[in-house]
Chains A and B, each alone.
Chain A
Amino acid sequence: MTQKIAPFWSGPYIFILPALLVYVIFMIVPFVGTIGLSLIKWEGFSFDDIKFIGLQNYRDLLVDSVYWLSLRNSLVFVAAAVAFQCTLGLIVALLLEQKLAIGNFLRGSYFIPAIISLIIIGIAFESLLNPTLGVLDKILRTVGLEKFSVLGMWLASKKKAIWVLILIQGWYGFGWSMFIFISRLKLIDPQLYEAAEIDGATAWQKNLYVSIPLLRGVAPVAVLFAAMSAMKIFTVPYVMTRGGPNHGTEVLATWAFSHGIAYQHVGYGSAISVTLLIFGMILGFFIFKAMGMGRSNA
């Protein structure tokens, strides 16, 4: 019996057409356009000045030390985001499933950072961490934790500033990981926990031998989400440090922005953006494969 192939203009394709159209217009077309821009030299004033230069922008990237630094910083963000966000998200999700009286309230509270604008978060933390005017230093000194009061000064250090931004980004994003894990935890059959209890399992053992193994299916989703979000990070470094000091917190997105928008190097900035996308795709592919996504669980 030959398989019937649904014609394009039948139900299923009609229903996905609007979303596909939006995707093509707002994702594919700009992406193709960016690739085109990466092959030109243009200051961004008038289309008459566009000059095709082939792969020259990509050759220039090879000798741009700030580009490689920004790539390294982006990868550090990814590694730290995955480790920090997913681990914290998992721990908080497991704790919140312990039938606390204010569990629902806490679930909502921990998710709040994820719905606040990153610009507001950046400005707020910049004020909090200001060594002279910020409240954090004062609070730490008041409670006798003076040795931790240098956190604001870390932002002025090329090597340490990135860790402050990672903490802030982690605080912002762990709610998403928590949300993903909680949604899976809710689906676990309670009888499994009852059976474990009958066998004498402690709360810790229930988490270790029941909850965590059953979360393996959604862990790749949380990791992928955190990694992709970190790879394209822009707002927090831009608002808080502008990529400084001395490019210590420069990431691919901020460097692309600087060249493409501020320095009138539209082609070069586009080339950086294209490499950001390529690295993101490679990273996504590795995560996909490494975590066994797409494979059947049978």
Chain B
Amino acid sequence: MQKRIGKVLVCSSLVVCLMAGLTSFGGAETTLSLWDQKNSPKEREAVEYIIGIFEKEYPEVKITRRIMPNLEADQMVRMAFAGGTPPDLSECQDPYTMVKYFQKGLTMDLTEWYKEYGDRYPLGVKSAMNFDGYYIAVPMAELVTMAVFYNKKLLADLGLTEPENYGEFCQALEAAKARGLTPIPIGTKAGWPGLHIYQHFLRETVGAATINDMIFRTDPNKGPRWTDPGFVRAAKYVDEMRQNGYFSKGAAMSSFDAGKMEWLGGRGPFFITGSWVPSFDFPPGFEWDFFWFPHIVGELGYYRNDDYIDLFASLQVSSTTSHPELCLDFLEVWTRPEVQHKAWFEIANFIPVVKGAAPEEELSKFQKAQLELSKHNTGTYHAMDCWMPPAVGFGALYSDMTALFAGEITPIELGKHMEKVHVEELKKLQE
């Protein structure tokens, strides 16, 4: 009996030692976790390329990557922070929350890193990452602009050219509708595709400065209101488009991808969205071009050249990471001009914000236009959904946009509801 017990103890000890040895052997590698939202094929490839470069230079480090769905990504990251197990590096497309992370001490102060590598960015881009004198994140990839993209062949078949103003644009939409096409394929179930169109009209009716004033409104009793004539008028323009039948059938309940498929399938000429279009997988023979959303004669925007230019995605580092130096090294690799050029410019067809990553002679027509816009605009504004408190931006604004596209609310009702929700939220934040 004693011999048997002895044998069991010896065998158990050997097994435990073996497992410990195997574990420590397997664990010789350091792991950094990266959570990002680069989920389209080209974007994925771009990130994999950057990871490959880093792992080659740091062979003892492995990056474990988690690709998150766009709409839920910021929630996932926030839950991870709240639970105390955030990823080492994470993408944030929610600047409002990104600032909160930093204020709560959850993300790292990158000021020292910026002292060494910050000059890789133009001043305007750098300053966008500055909060209260601290640098809190690193822009991931591209400058984002919004445009009207069109199917060249369809437009030519309709006998049309790029419209000079909104009136001509509406004529083009009528021509497409008369031909049985969907003038503007769109799926806005998620709210944000429709919001982009609304913001184009806001640019015309209130201008960039007022849009930004609304975004950064902190006092419920001050600043612009959603019931102001300019805001209501912008919603009316959207509603008129809906009533005229310019949007896809059931646009309010279709996904962005459904709208995209409609456009790529040649069912409609115009697609109004952001500068990620060049990264689409286009069907063979599909030729596209673009123009900036046309100005409306008689509106404020007609006499200006305001436009939407924003930095969407940023990389932040968790303040509780076990490998802060490695994370900063990863940021250094990520922001190298040659790496950005290969990953974002060549693979993903974006225009990277890092200086030197997009040589002028290699820029496409669209990219050149984006750069021109960034240099010669009269004012730029942010994406309202990402910069306002979530209950306002991701909540009421998305939901009301969908309702507007469904014809379920009027422009005035939208203004009243948005004002009510925004004021309530601001009061809660003040408590």
Do chains A and B interact in one complex?
yes
Q: Does the CB pair A45–B406 fall under 8 Å?
A: no
Chain B nearest CB, measured from A62 CB (Å): 14
Q: Does B91 contact A (CB under 8 A)?
A: no
Q: In the complex the two chains form, what is the Cα distance from A263 to B189 in whole Å?
A: 18
Stretch at the interface among A7-15, A25-33, A128-136, A289-297: A128-136
Instruction: Determine if B79 and A261 form an interchain contact, defined as CB atoms under 8 angstroms apart.
Output: yes
In Å, the complex CA distance between A255 and B104 comes to: 27
Residues of A within 8 A of B185 (CB): 132
- Provide the residues of chain B in CB contact with A41, threshold 8 Å: 428, 431
Closest to B250 in A: A131
Q: A133-B258, A244-B189, A245-B406 are in contact. Are A161 and B253 (CB under 8 A)?
A: yes
Closest B residue to A45 using CB positions: B104
Residue of B at shortest CB range from A243? B399
**B101 interface residue (CB < 8 Å to A):** yes
A126 to B256, CA, bound (A): 12
Which residues of chain A in 136-156 are interfacial with respect to chain B, using CB atoms and an 8 Å cutoff? Answer: 152-153, 155-156
Chain A contacts of B251 at CB under 8 A? 156
- Give the distance in Å from the alpha carbon of A264 to the alpha carbon of B75 in the complex: 9
| Complex alpha-carbon distance, A161 and B84, angstroms | 39
State which residues 148-191 of B face A: CB under 8 Å. 182, 185, 189-191
* B395 A261 Cβ-Cβ under 8 A: no
List, in ascending order, chain B residues with CB within 8 A of A133's CB.
Answer: 258, 261-262, 265
Distance A263 CA – B399 CA, assembled complex (angstroms): 13
Q: Closest approach, in angstroms, between the C-beta of A271 and any C-beta of chain B? A: 14
Closest chain-B Cβ to A158's Cβ sits at a distance in Å of 5
Cα of A244 to Cα of B398 in the assembled complex, Å: 10
- The residues of B that contact A158 with a CB separation of less than 8 Å are 403, 406, 408
Query: Once the chains bind, are A262 and B75 in contact (CB under 8 Å)?
Result: yes
Interface size, A (range)? 35 or more
Nearest CB on A from B72, distance (A): 8
Instruction: Indicate whether B341 reaches chain A with its CB closer than 8 angstroms.
Output: no
B82/A156 in contact, CB under 8 A: no
Tell me the chain B residues, 85-123 only, with Cβ under 8 Å from chain A: 97, 100-101, 104-106
Q: Is the CB of A241 within 8 A of B100?
A: no
| Assembly CA distance A245 to B399 (angstroms) | 7
Query: Is the C-beta of A46 less than 8 angstroms from some C-beta in chain B?
Result: yes
Chain B residue at minimum C-beta to C-beta distance from A242: B189
Is A49 close to B, CB under 8 A? yes
Contact of A262 among B189, B254, B390, B431 (CB under 8 A): B390
Residues B395 and A156 in contact, CB atoms below 8 Å apart:
no
Kindly state the separation between the CA atoms of A245 and B408 in the bound complex, as whole angstroms.
7
A247 in the interface (beta carbon within 8 A)? yes
Q: Beta-carbon contacts of B394-431 to A below 8 Å, as 1s and 0s?
A: 11001110110110110000000000000000001001
B residues near A44, Cβ cutoff 8 Å: 78-79, 82
Contact: A246 with B79, CB < 8 Å? no
**Distance between Cα atoms of A133 and B254 in the complex (Å):** 10
Decide: A46 near B406, CB < 8 A? Known: A132-B262, A155-B253, A161-B253: no
Cβ contacts under 8 Å, B403 to chain A:
158, 244-246
Known: A132-B267, A264-B78. A244 touches B391 (CB 8 A): no
A287 and B261 CA atoms in complex are apart in Å by 47
Among B75, B250, B253, which residue has its beta carbon within 8 angstroms of that of A244? B253
**Which of chain B's residues have a CB closer than 8 A to the CB of A259?**
391
Residue A248 CB within 8 A of the other chain: yes
Whether the pair B391, A245 counts as a contact (CB closer than 8 A) is: no
Closest to A152 in B: B250
Q: How many angstroms between the C-alpha atoms of A44 and B80 in the bound complex?
A: 10
Report A-chain residues with C-beta under 8 Å of the C-beta of B370. none
The A interface is mostly helix, strand or loop, or mixed, namely loop
A152-186 CB mask vs B (1 if < 8 Å, else 0) is 11011110010000000000000000000000000
Check if A45 sits within 8 Å of B100, measured CB to CB: yes
Q: Are A130 and B258 in contact (CB under 8 A)?
A: yes
**A258 on the B face (CB < 8 A):** yes
Does B323 lie at the interface of the complex (its beta carbon under 8 Å from any beta carbon of A)? no
Most chain A CB within 10 A, of B97, B252, B258, B261, is at B252
Chain B residues in 8 Å Cβ range of A43: 100
* Contact yes or no, A126 B249, CB < 8 A: no
**A157→B405 CA distance, assembly (Å):** 10
Bound form: Cα–Cα A157–B407 in Å? 8
Contact of A263 among B106, B182, B391 (CB under 8 A): B391
Give Cα A140–Cα B399 distance, bound, in whole angstroms: 31
Distance between Cα atoms of A133 and B389 in the complex (Å): 35
CA distance A224 to B267 in the complex (A): 47
- With A246-B409, A247-B399, A264-B390 known as contacts, the answer to whether A241 contacts B79 (CB < 8 A) is no
Using CB atoms, name the residue of chain B closest to A266. B82
Expressed in whole angstroms, the minimum distance between the Cβ of B136 and any Cβ of chain A is 14
Question: Which of A242, A245, A247, A264 sits near B190, CB closer than 8 Å?
Answer: A242
Residue of A nearest to B189 (CB): A242
CB distance from B361 to the nearest CB of A (A): 40
The CA-CA distance from A146 to B97 in the complex, in Å, is 48
Tell me if B248 is interfacial: C-beta within 8 Å of chain A.
yes
Known: A44-B82, A244-B406. A156 touches B100 (CB 8 A): no
Do B78 and A45 touch (CB < 8 A)? Answer: yes
Residues 218 to 260 of chain A near chain B (Cβ within 8 Å): 240-248, 258-259
In the docked arrangement, what's the CA distance between A246 and B399, Å?
6
* Alpha-carbon separation in the docked complex, A107 to B105 (Å): 57
Which residues of B lie under 8 Å from residue A153 when comparing CB positions?
Answer: 249-250
For B390, the chain A residues whose CB sits under 8 A away are 262-264
- Say yes or no: A261-B249 contact (C-beta < 8 A), given A242-B190, A244-B402: no
| In the bound complex, CA of A166 to CA of B409 (Å) | 24
Q: Which chain A residues border B262 with CB–CB below 8 Å?
A: 132-133
The answer, among A49, A132, A265, for a CB contact under 8 Å with B249, is A132
Bound CA span A156–B404, Å: 11
In contact, A261 and B75 (Cβ under 8 angstroms): yes
Q: Among the listed A46, A245, A262, A264, which residue makes an inter-chain contact with B253, where contact means beta carbons less than 8 Å apart? A: A245
Q: Residue B255 at the A interface, CB < 8 A?
A: yes
CA distance A29 to B292 in the complex (A): 55
Residues of A within 8 A of B182 (CB): 132
Q: Is B81 in contact with chain A by the CB < 8 A criterion? A: yes
Known: A156-B406, A264-B391. 16 other contacts (CB 8 A): A45-B81, A126-B255, A130-B258, A132-B248, A132-B254, A132-B258, A155-B250, A156-B250, A242-B190, A244-B402, A246-B403, A246-B409, A247-B399, A259-B391, A263-B389, A263-B390
CB-defined A-B contacts under 8 Å, sample of 8: A131-B248, A158-B408, A161-B253, A242-B399, A246-B400, A261-B79, A262-B395, A263-B394
**4 residue pairs, one from A and one from B, having the closest CB atoms:** A246-B403, A263-B391, A245-B406, A155-B253
